[in-house]
Amino acid sequence: MDAATFRRLGHALIDWVADYRERLPTLPVRSNVAPGTVRQQFPHAPPNLGGQIDSALAALDTAVLPGITHWNHPSFFAYFPSNTSFASILADIVASGIGSQGMSWETSPAATEVEEVMMDWLRQMLSLPAKFEGVIHDTASTATLCALACARERSLAFAPQGLQGAQAKLCIYASDQAHASIEKAVRLAGFGKEYLRLIPTDDAHAMRPGLLADAIANDRQLGHVPCAIIATTGTTATTAMDPVDACAAIAVANHAWLHVDAAMAGCAMILPECRHHWHGIERADSLVLNPHKWLGVGFDFSAYYCRDAQHLIRVMGTNPSYLRTVRDHEVKNLRDWGIPLGRRFRALKLWFLLLDQGVDGLQAHIRKSLALAQRFCALVDAHPDWQRMAPMSLQTICIRHRPAGLDEQQLARHNLAIARRINDSGKAYLTPTVLKGTQILRVSIGAERTTEREIDALWHCLQISLSD
C-alpha cells in the first residue's frame, strides 16, 4: 500500500466510523449471532496475493458488524460503560501512524513525557496528593497484579528466594464483593487462593472493618503475615464503597499494603462532591482507575498510581545491557513501572480527550449519568412490584421484579427471563447477576449518548417484558 491508497482508504474508513456512530441508535445493542457465524464469513486459508484491502471495507458491514455488541450504544446498560470518544479514536490513529515503542525514554521521549504529563493532569483532576505518581496499564487486572507483586516484595524484604523461602504464609484481604481479578492476581502472584481472605460485607455491601481486623488477628495467631488489603471503591455488582480510611488504619497498624480498586468509580472522583466515597485515599499505597470506562478514553487505558515510585521500580525494574542508555539516570523508563516491556503511546488518547472536552466537559458527563440514574431510581421506587436490591452509590441500579406469589427460585427464573427478553430484543442490554444468593438485574448508566429518552425506553421495555 502506498501513501495515496492509505489516504483514500483512511478517508473512507473515517466516514464509515462516523456513519456507524450516527446510526448506532438504530442497531440492536447486543449481537445475537450464533457461535461460528462470523468465522464462516472468512476463507479457511489466508490470501496468497495482496491488493484486496478494498474488500475489507465492504466486509465490515457484512462479516464483522453483525457480530459486534455496541458498547457505545445509548441503550447499553450492561457491565460498566466503556466509552470511546471521537477524540480518542483520532488519538489511536496517530499512535498507530507514528508506531512508536515507548519502553524506554530514548526509544521515544515524547511517549514517556506525554504520559508523565497526562498522569499528572489526571492526578490533579482527582485531587490526589503530589506524592502519587502514575503510569498507564492496559487494564485494572494488570494493575492489581502489579500492586500485589509490590506488596509481596515489601513483606519479603526482596528476599531472593521469594515466596519459596518464606517461613510464614502471606495473606491477602478483600471483601466478598471484590472483583474476580483479585483472586486471579492472588494466584498469579504466587500467594495461593487458600490465603485469600474474603471479608463479609454489611447491608450496603461494603467491607466490614471490624471483621477485617478480626481476620488479620486470627491469621497472626496462626503465624501468618498480613501482606495486603484490597479495598474496593465501587464494587462490580452494586458499586458499593469499602471504607478506605478504616482499611488504611488497619493496614498501617499491621504493616500491610493497601491497594484501592477504583476501576469504575474512580472516574467519578473528578467531581468534588463524590470524593467522600474514597475518604482516606491519600493513605493508600496504590490505586487503580479505568478512564476507559466512564470518561471516554478508548480501551485500553488503566491509570495506576503508587505512593512510592522507587519501590515500584525496584519490584518491576530490570537493567540488561541491551536496554541501557546514557540518559537513564535523568529520565523515567516506563518499562520499569509495570509488567510489559513494550508500551503503546496510550497517553495521546487522554490528551486528545481533554483538549476536546476539557475537565468541565468530563465532569458534565459524569453528572449527567448520575442524574439519569436518579431518574431511573424514581421510576423503580414508584412501582410496587419493582424492588431496589442495593443502595445506589453512583450510577448502577440493582433491581428485581417481585410480583406476589413467587418463591425465591421462581423469582430468580422470572427475573432471568426478563433480562433475556430485553437483551434478545436488541432494544437495550443489561446484566443479570447474583447478589449474596439473590438473582438481580443490574442497570449501569454511563454511555456518552444516553439521555432521558433511553432511560424511559428501558423502563418501558421492562414493563413490556413482564407480559411476554
Closest CA to 114 of 102, 125, 126: 102
Bridge partners of residue 315, in order along the sequence: none
Q: Which three cell numbers stand for residue 412?
A: 430468580
What secondary structure does DSSP assign to 399-465, as a single string?
EEE--TT--HHHHHHHHHHHHHHHHHHTS-EEEEEEETTEEEEEEE---TT--HHHHHHHHHHHHHH
CA 462/CA 415 separation, integer angstroms: 10
Q: State pLDDT tens for residues 233-246.
A: 999 999 999 999 99
Q: What does the pLDDT average to over 423-435?
A: 96
What number of helices (H) and strands (E) belong to the chain? 13, 12
Q: Which three cell numbers stand for residue 275?
A: 470524593
Q: Which three cell numbers stand for residue 159?
A: 528476599
**Residue 163 pLDDT:** 87
Report whether 149 contacts 266 (CB < 8 A): no
User: Is 80 exceeded by the pLDDT of residue 3?
Assistant: yes
**Residue 51 pLDDT:** 87
Q: What does the pLDDT average to over 427-448?
A: 96
User: Is 90 exceeded by the pLDDT of residue 466?
Assistant: no
3-state SS record for 276-292:
HHHCCHHHCCEEEECHH
Domain boundaries, the chain: 100-344
Q: State pLDDT tens for residues 136-193.
A: 999 999 999 999 999 999 999 999 888 888 889 999 999 999 999 999 999 999 999 9
CA 416/CA 254 separation, integer angstroms: 43
Exposure string for 231-264, b = 16+ CB within 10 A, e = fewer: bbbbbbbbbbbbbbebbbbbbeebebbbbbbbbb
CA 256/CA 260 separation, integer angstroms: 13
Q: State pLDDT tens for residues 16-34.
A: 999 999 999 999 999 999 9
- Strands 133-137 and 302-306 turn out to be antiparallel
**Residue 454 pLDDT:** 98
Report whether 275 contacts 363 (CB < 8 A): no
- Amino acid letter, 249: A
Phi, then psi, of 19 in degrees rounded to 5: -65, -40
Q: State pLDDT tens for residues 367-376.
A: 999 999 999 9
Report whether 74 contacts 447 (CB < 8 A): yes
Report whether 419 contacts 30 (CB < 8 A): no
**Residue 167 pLDDT:** 85
Q: How confident is the model at residue 220 (pLDDT cuts 50, 70, 90)?
A: very high
Which segments within 115-155 are labelled E, that is strand?
Answer: 133-137
Report whether 269 contacts 277 (CB < 8 A): yes
- Strands 257-261 and 225-232 turn out to be parallel
CA 232/CA 241 separation, integer angstroms: 6
Q: What does the pLDDT average to over 125-142?
A: 96
Q: State pLDDT tens for residues 36-48.
A: 999 999 999 999 9
Chain length of the chain: 468
User: Is 80 exceeded by the pLDDT of residue 210?
Assistant: yes
User: Is 70 exceeded by the pLDDT of residue 278?
Assistant: yes
Q: What does the pLDDT average to over 429-434?
A: 96
Q: What is the CA radius of gyration of the chain?
A: 24
Residue with cell 444516553: 450
**Residue 174 pLDDT:** 98
**Residue 209 pLDDT:** 98
Q: State pLDDT tens for residues 315-343.
A: 999 888 888 998 889 989 999 999 999 99
Closest CA to 110 of 120, 123, 100: 100
User: Is 70 exceeded by the pLDDT of residue 468?
Assistant: no
Q: Which three cell numbers stand for residue 362?
A: 468530563
Q: Which three cell numbers stand for residue 220?
A: 497472626
Q: Which three cell numbers stand for residue 380?
A: 423503580
Q: What does the pLDDT average to over 345-360?
A: 97
Q: What does the pLDDT average to over 218-245?
A: 97
Q: Tell me the CATH number of domain 100-344, given options 3.30.565.10, 3.40.640.10, 3.20.20.70, 2.60.130.10.
A: 3.40.640.10
CA 85/CA 349 separation, integer angstroms: 9
